[in-house]
A and B are shown apart, each in its own frame.
Chain A
Amino acid sequence: MTRRVLVMFAVLAAIAVGLGFYALHLKRKVARDEQLAAEQQRALAPLSNGPPTTVTLYIASDSDGTLRRTQVNVTLPPERTERDRAVLRALFEQYLPSSSPHPIGAGADVRDVYLLGDDTAVVDTNAAFADAHPSGVLAEELTVASIVVTLNANDSKIGRVKILVNGQERETLAGHADLRRFYEASNIGQVVKDMQ
């Protein structure tokens, strides 16, 4: 093998290494951009126009395992299930930034809220809500509890809540919290008292 061929091979190998690092850089950049986009996507457009209404949210905190009551102003639509959905989206907005005291999966959203009779709400979440939710008994319980008590606090007729993922029943949220059952707001309320 001549010296010229060796030099050429060395140059090409260097180019290949450079391309490899560039590909890795691009891969990481795309992942970062996707996460950023998912977080920004949650700067959700209000579901309706009109004067903002004060709603009560129960915000979870992982560091001390508590739920804290807080109030925010949200523009609510007139229809009841749409109102419930808007309240839950306001709750999710608190959890979506990575700096949240209880971050949940990027891109998590509430697809719809259905009512069974007057007192039972079925909350249909998207796949990102469950797929990217941090796994853990307490972390998942905090999410479920905050959804149930927040709904009940803003729509007092709702006494039972069932959570679906992408329109389907799922065994657990992220390996721990039972999603096959209906949650009674009164039972969860007791848990929340223990957590506060």
Chain B
Amino acid sequence: MPLSGRRSRLAWAITAGSALLFAALLTRQTGVHAQSPGQNQLTVYSPRTSYSVPLLEVNGQPYAGLVELLEPLGSVDARIDGKKYKLHFTPPGGRPLEVQFTGGKDKGKVRGNGYKLPANFILQNGRGYLPLSVTSDLVSKLLATDTEFHAAARRLFIGNIQLRYTLELHKDNPSRLLLGFSSPVNPSIATEPGRVRLTFRREPIVSTGPENVPYSDPLISGASFSEHDGLAELDVTGTAPMMANFADGGRTIIITGAPAAAPVTQEAPAPLPPAPANPQNPSPQPRQPAAPRFLVLIDPAHGGSDIGAAITPSLPEKDVVLALARRVQHELANRGIAAGLLRNSDVAITLDQRATWTNAARPALYIALHAANTGQGVHVFTAMLPAANLSPQGFLPWDTAQAAFLDLSGSVAGSVAAELESRKLPNATLLAPLRPMNNIAAPAIAVEIAPPAGNVDEIASAAYQEQVAQSIAAGVAAVRAKLPEVRP
């Protein structure tokens, strides 16, 4: 039956509209608009580590990345098959547990049992995200332990690790407020006239009683506790400038009045006399230099919009190396070696920033981690620089700072390669023109992992990464005596 002109136009309009809609659906990866606000994060406190998980805002609801949430707590192997998201999580010393969700659906499976989400699971750029409100329950199910979630503050406590504090006011002259903690703490401290603010980012500090404690004291007028944006704050207010001092190995923080400022003199200070060889009269003790310490700084390459190599379409290099970095940190800690990560979340850092931050931290060793989908095995690199007769203690040229440390860097690389060899992992030691190695003023190596035997997916497997991490940590431990401890 011939269609009338009006119907014909309607048909064409519907056809064109449907085609456009369909084409749009085919080419879009997700039907939601997602954005990543800068300060939006969940802080997770576990007996093993404390870490931050960046959050996505999807339709006004916060979502957490599943891999970012679980990776620091154990081994994670995530795969995407179409809209199906499958993740195997292996807790330390446990067996693999399966988590399964479908993009755009609110039903999934956790450990073989049905699991209902309060909102749809999101798949975006090869990552799986679940509503923030269920993170506590999911972690509790996977780790078989109690969790406590402070939703408004975005703080998740795993196990019974909450750190409580006590307040004790001593009405001396001047008054002192003693903040007692059961474990050492290291908050950042900000002072302003009549106020001292302690910010705890890594410590699982929780309130013990009333959040606001007023004092009838001439100096200290009150203390208050608050938590928000993944951190906790203790705010002490007073009537005069105050300062905070650490005592008892970081278990106590003493807040008291700041000393009055010295009168300003117009005369230039006289130069300090040289210290007498055998002083008869005691003189003021100079400040004790900080004790040397051995710190390894691990640099998981790339991050944020810089994904590095696309190992597979859904597996960027930045994720592989962050997981590896956490394993290396853990393995070093098992060998009694303190290690820090240059980034512990998916953030972008420029090459110059990496070098600047590393040099400011004065580590005993810098390890850059990379991953590639070409080649095979593990490559250990040192900087491609001509040897130079530079003193590590003097000023170093930015572009060739590493030249002063090439011998030590080579020793570490050789030791790591030997450990890889002992674990029968294919490896090679090479020089590389890799940034920012040349700018690092400390012994430095870079490690690039490629698939162990041609199977690209294996690069992210827990077993392979664990072997590489153990090799790196054992290699570092073997040459630790050669590497100088550094004063912070």
Contacts and interface: CB of A to CB of B under 8 A. Distances in A.
A63 B428 CA distance: 13
Given A12-B14, A20-B26, A134 B430 contact: no
B434 A65 contact: no
A183 B431 CA distance: 13
A178 B434 contact: yes
Contacts of A139: 372, 374-375
Contact of A16 (B19, B370, B375): B19
B448 interface: yes
B14 A19 contact: no
Q: Provide the main secondary structure of the chain B interface.
A: mixed
Nearest to B431: A191
Nearest to A61: B375
Interface string A105-146: 000000000000000000000000000001111110100100
Interface string B432-475: 11110010000000101010000000000000000000000000
A190 B370 CA distance: 23
A190 B431 CA distance: 9
B125 interface: no
B308 A138 contact: no
Interface residues of B, number: 40
Nearest to B386: A187
B58 interface: no
Interface stretch (B205-213, B221-229, B283-291, B376-384): B376-384
A178 B435 CA distance: 6
A178 B15 contact: no
B18 interface: yes
Contacts of A178: 433-435, 438
Contacts of A175: 301-302, 306, 308-309
Interface string B13-30: 011001101110110000
Nearest to A136: B372
Contacts of A13: 18
B351 interface: yes
Interface in A167-196: 171-172, 174-178, 180-181, 183-184, 187, 190-191, 194-195
Contacts of B431: 187, 190-191, 194
A63 B438 CA distance: 27
B430 A195 contact: yes
Nearest to A102: B374
B319 interface: no
Contacts, number: 120
Contacts of A16: 14-15, 18-19, 21-22
A137 B370 contact: yes
B190 interface: no
A15 B309 contact: no
B183 to A, nearest CB: 40
Nearest to B437: A178
Interface in B18-51: 18-19, 21-23, 25-26
B303 to A, nearest CB: 11
A30 interface: no
B430 A12 contact: no
Contacts of A8: 11
Given A8-B11, A62-B374, A19 B433 contact: no
B433 A65 contact: no
Given A16-B18, A137-B448, A191-B431, A24 B26 contact: yes
Interface string A1-39: 000000011001101110110011000000000000000
Interface string B345-387: 0000001000000000000000000101111100101001010
Interface centre among A138, A181, A187 (most CB of B within 10 A): A138
B454 to A, nearest CB: 9
Contact of B430 (A63, A141, A176, A180): A141
A100 B308 CA distance: 22
Interface centre among A19, A176, A177 (most CB of B within 10 A): A176
Contacts of A176: 370, 432, 434-435
Interface centre among A13, A134, A141 (most CB of B within 10 A): A141
B384 to A, nearest CB: 6
B223 to A, nearest CB: 49
B22 A17 contact: yes
5 contacts: A64-B376, A138-B372, A177-B432, A184-B386, A187-B384
Given A136-B309, A171-B351, A181-B438, 4 more contacts: A16-B14, A16-B22, A138-B432, A178-B435
